[in-house]
Amino acid sequence: MKSFTEHTGVVAPMDRANVDTDLIIPKQFLKSIKRTGFGPNLFDELRYLDKGEPGRDNSTRPINPEFPLNFARYKGASILLARENFGCGSSREHAPWALEEFGIRAVIAPSYADIFYNNCFKNGLLPIVLDEKIVSSLFKSMYDQVGYKITIDLQQQSVIANGEKFAFEIDEFRKHCLLNGFDDISLTLQEAEKIKIYEQQRRTEKPWLFGAVKA
Amino acid sequence: MSARTLYDKLWDDHVVAQRDDGSSLLYIDRHIVHEVTSPQAFEGLRLAGRKPWRADSVIATPDHNVPTTAKERASGVEGIEDPISKIQVKTLDDNCDELGIVEFKINDPRQGIVHVVGPETGGCLPGMTIVCGDSHTSTNGALGALSFGIGTSEVEHVLATQCIIAKKMKNMLVKVDGTLGEGVTAKDVVLAIIGEIGTAGGTGYAIEFGGEVFRAMSMEGRLTVCNMAIEAGARAGMVAVDDITIEYVNGRSFAPKGEQWHKAVDNWRKLQSDADAVFDRIVEIDGSSIKPQVSWGTSPEMVLPIDGFVPDPNTEKDQVKAGGIRRALDYMGLAAGQAITDIKVDRVFIGSCTNSRIEDIRAAAQIVKGRKKAANVKEAIVVPGSGAVKKQAEEEGLHKIFIAADLEWREPGCSMCLAMNADKLGDGEHCASTSNRNFEGRQGYGGRTHLVSPAMAAAAAIAGHFVDVREF
Ligand code: SF4
C-alpha cells in the first residue's frame, strides 16, 4: 500500500451532502475484475453528459461543463472537499480505487459512511473529519481563491490551511499503517497463533458455528 | 459482569485479540462471497501466495450480474450475453473451484441473492459473526447475529486470516411499540425509521431493533428491516433471538442437528440485551402511527407516507438540505407540493435482498390476483430472491397469478435493484421498487426509483400510479 505522510495539493469541491458510492463510481464499472481502470469513470454521471460504459474511450465523450472537477481551476486536484455523510451506500471499494486513481490523496468532510471510511485506509487514501464550520470555511476559501491549496500532515494530525492549523482525529492503528504503507494482512498473520488458539477453543465450546458448507 | 446489549455479547464472544489503540481482531464465523466484490480479493490472495484460512466457512454464489430471463439463463454462464458480466461470473466459478470453496453456481437450485441464500440455507445462524463484501450483509442480523458489509481488501483479509480488524461501534436501540395497522409491513416500518433518523442517523452505531412490533414480526420481516439498517447508516442491524428465530432456523440444511441443535438452542436463547443494558442512543417510534411509505427523492430518508405531499425546498431553512431537495425534485421530475398518489409509474420491480422472500412474493400475489397490470405500466417484473423461493412460489402457484395479471415471473438474482444485468429503467422512468436504494442512476441511467413494500408495488402495477394499499 502507498504510504501517506505529508501532502500539499489543490483542493476541489464535491459540494453536496450524502454523496453515495453509486455516484462516485456507477455500477456498470463494477463488472471489472481488476483493481485499476476506475479513475476515468470517477463521478461518471456528473462528469460526462452521456452514459458511460466499461471499455468506452472516455476522451471522446461530451464533458459536463458545469461539474466542478471539469473546471480548469481544479485541474490536478488531490484533495477533495466534501459535505456530510460522504461515501454512503454500497460497500464497493471501487469508490476509493476510483478516487485514488483520479489523483485524490485525501478527502475532507464533516462525516463519512462507515464502510467507505474504512475502505479508504486500505488504499492509502486519507479521509479527514473536520468540524462542519471549518469545512464550510474551507469551502469558502476554495471558492474565493483559484488554485487554493491545503497541506495535510498525518504525523501531526493536522490540516494546514489559511495559515491556521486544524487538528483531526485518527485511530492509532490506521495512522500507523498509513504512515508506513503497511499491508494489514501480514500484520494480522503475525497473530496467527492467537487465532488458532481461539478457533480451537471455539470448536469445542460451540461446534455448531463451524458447520462446514457442503456442496 | 455488567449488563450488556446483544451487540456487546456478540462482539465480546468473537474478540481474538484486543489492541491498545482500541481496535480488535474479530473472528469471523461465516463469509459470504459474490462475483462483484471478490475478484480483486482472490487475485490479491494469489499474488501473495496465500490460501483461504478456512475454505469451508465460505458460501459463494453469483447474483449481481446474472440474467433473469429463462431464455438467457438456459445455458448457464455461457449463455450470459454481456461479455463483461460473463467474465465476472466465470471468474467467481474459477476462483471457487481452484480454492475448494463451495459455490451455488448460476443454475444451481440454491443460487440466489447472497443475503437471501445465507439465512435460508442455515449457512447464517444466530450468534455468528458474518461478513460479505456487500453493505446489505446487515440483513443476517435478524437472526441475532453480528453481520456487516466489508470492502474488497477486507474480503481478502478475511479469506487469509478468518478475522477482521475492527473497532467496536456504539449501541443504538430503535424501539417500535404498538401494533402495525392492516397493510403496513416491515418495509414500511424500516422506511419510516430511516425517514425519522436519516441516512446518517445510524452511522457509527450497531442498531438493535426492539419493541412489540419486532417481537410480533416474522423472520422474513425482520430480515427486511435489518437489510435496510445500512440505509440508516448503521453497518449492522440486529434483532434478539426468540421462538420465531429458532423456529425459522430449525431444519435448514446447514443448521445443527440432533444433540448439537439442542445445545445451540440453549446458547441462542441468551442472545438478547440484558434488561438493564445501556444504549448510547434510543429512538422510540409508535408503530401504530406508521402508514404505508413511498420514497419521493434520491436518498432513502426522502420518504413520505402514501397520503403525503412532495416537500418544498423553499420552506427548508438548512441550505445544504434545501439544495438536496431541489436537486432531488429536479432529478425525479417532481414538483413541490405534488401528492404522492399522483405519481405515475412506468415500471415495477418486485425483488432484491430487501423484499424477495416467499412472504414478499405472497403479499404481491395477493394484491394482483384476478387483476391486470395498468396499460401505462410498461413492465412489471417479479424476481424471486433465490432458487428456493422460486420453487416454493411455483409450488403455491403464485407465478401463475402474476402471469395472469401481465406481470413477468423471472429467474433469481439482484436484477433491477442495481441494474448490472439487462433489467434496467429507461431515462426518466418512474419505478415502484421493493429494493433499498433510490440513488440517482441506481436502477438505470436517469431512472427514478420509489421505494415501497411488495404490496404497495403490486398495487401501483395495477393502478398505474401510487395508491394506498389499505384502500385497495
Ligand atoms: S439485491 Fe440489490 S442491494 Fe441486495 S445484494 Fe443485490 S444489488 Fe445489493
pLDDT digits (tens, 9 = 90+) for B288-336: 999 999 999 999 999 999 999 999 999 999 888 899 999 999 999 999 9
| Backbone Cα Rg of chain A | 20
pLDDT at site A213: 87
For residue A191, give the nearest of B17, B134, B154 by CB distance: B17
- What confidence score (pLDDT) does residue B319 get? 87
Q: Tens place of pLDDT for every residue, chain B, 472 residues?
A: 689 999 999 999 999 999 888 899 999 999 999 999 999 999 999 999 999 999 999 999 999 999 999 999 999 999 999 999 999 999 999 999 999 999 999 999 999 999 999 999 999 999 999 999 999 999 999 999 999 999 999 999 999 999 999 999 999 999 999 999 999 999 999 999 999 999 999 999 999 999 999 999 999 999 999 999 999 999 999 999 999 999 999 999 999 999 999 999 999 999 999 999 999 999 999 999 999 999 999 999 999 999 999 999 999 998 888 999 999 999 999 999 999 999 999 999 999 999 999 999 999 999 999 999 999 999 999 999 999 999 999 999 999 999 999 999 999 999 999 999 999 999 999 999 999 999 999 999 999 999 999 999 999 999 999 999 999 8
- What is the pairing mode between strands B15-18 and B23-27? antiparallel
The radius of gyration of chain B from alpha carbons, rounded to an integer in Å, stands at 21
CB distance B113 to ligand 1 below 6 Å: yes
Q: Does the distance separating the beta carbons of B440 and A84 come in below 8 Å? A: no
- What's the CA gap between B31 and B150, in Å, rounded? 10
Q: What is the mean pLDDT of residues A94-99?
A: 97
Rounded CA-CA distance A27/A75 in Å is 26
Convert the pLDDT of each residue in A168-215 to its tens digit.
999 998 999 999 988 889 999 999 999 999 999 999 999 999 988 888
Q: B23 - beta bridge partners?
A: B167
Q: What is the ipTM of this complex?
A: 0.92
A149-153 and A158-161 beta bridge pairing: antiparallel
SS3 letters across chain B: CCCCCHHHHHHHCCEEEECCCCEEEEECCEEEECCCCCHHHHHHHHHCCCCCCCHHHEEECCCCCCCCCHHHHCCHHHHCCCHHHHHHHHHHHHHHHHHCCEECCCCCCCCECHHHHHHHHCCCCCCCEEEECCHHHHHHHHHCCEEEECCHHHHHHHHHHCEEEEECCEEEEEEEECCCCCCCCHHHHHHHHHHHHCCCCCCCEEEEEECHHHHHCCHHHHHHHHHHHHHHCCCEEECCCCHHHHHHHCCCCCCCCHHHHHHHHHHHCCCCCCCCCCCCEEEEEEHHHCCCEEECCCCCCCEEECCCECCCHHHCCCHHHHHHHHHHHHHHCCCCCCEHHHCECCEEEECCCCCCCHHHHHHHHHHHCCCCCCCCCCEEEECCCEHHHHHHHHHCCHHHHHHHCCCEECCCCCHHHCCCCCCCCCCCCEEEECCCCCCCCCCCCCCEEEECCHHHHHHHHHHCECCCHHHC
Given a cut of 90, whether residue A55 has pLDDT beyond it is: no
If you measure CA to CA, which chain B residue comes closest to A110? B200
The three-state secondary structure class of A30 is helix
**Residue B103 corresponds to which cell in the numbers above?**
459455490
Q: What does residue A208 show for φ and ψ, rounded to 5 degrees?
A: -65, -15
Average pLDDT (A89-111) is 96
With residue A128 as reference, give the H or E element that holds it: strand A126-129
A41 touches chain B (CB under 8 A): no
What pLDDT is recorded for position B1? 64
Q: What is the mean pLDDT of residues A38-62?
A: 94
Residue A190: its chain B contacts at CB < 8 A?
A: none
In 3D space, the residue among B20, B226, B27, B203 whose CA is nearest the CA of residue B128 turns out to be B27
Minimal CA separation from A7 to chain B, in Å:
24
Look-up of cell digits 475484475 = A33
Residue B202 near residue B226 (C-beta atoms within 8 A) = no
Give the C-alpha separation, B219 to B214, whole Å: 9
Orientation angle between helical segments B219-227 and B186-197, nearest 10 degrees: 30
pLDDT band for position A2 (cuts 50, 70, 90) = confident
- Any B CB within 8 A of A72 CB: no
Strand B430-433 and strand B448-451: pairing? parallel
B352 Cα nearest atom in ligand 1: 1
Q: Is the CB of B136 under 6 A from ligand 1?
A: yes
- Which residue, B152, B160, B142, is CA-closest to B45? B160
For residues B180 and B37, the answer to whether their CB atoms sit within 8 Å is no
B418 C-alpha to ligand 1 centroid (Å)? 7
> pLDDT value at position B472?
87
Q: So what's the pLDDT on residue B417?
A: 97
B130 contacts on A by Cβ (under 8 Å): none
Protein residue with least CA distance to atom 4, ligand 1: B353
B414 CB under 6 A from ligand 1? yes
Mean pLDDT along residues A112-139: 96
- Euclidean distance between CA atoms A61 and B417, whole angstroms: 27
- A133 and chain B: CB distance < 8 Å anywhere? no
Nearest to B295 by CA among B466, B419, B423: B466
Q: Is the pLDDT of residue A1 over 80?
A: no
B417 lines ligand 1 (CB under 6 A): yes
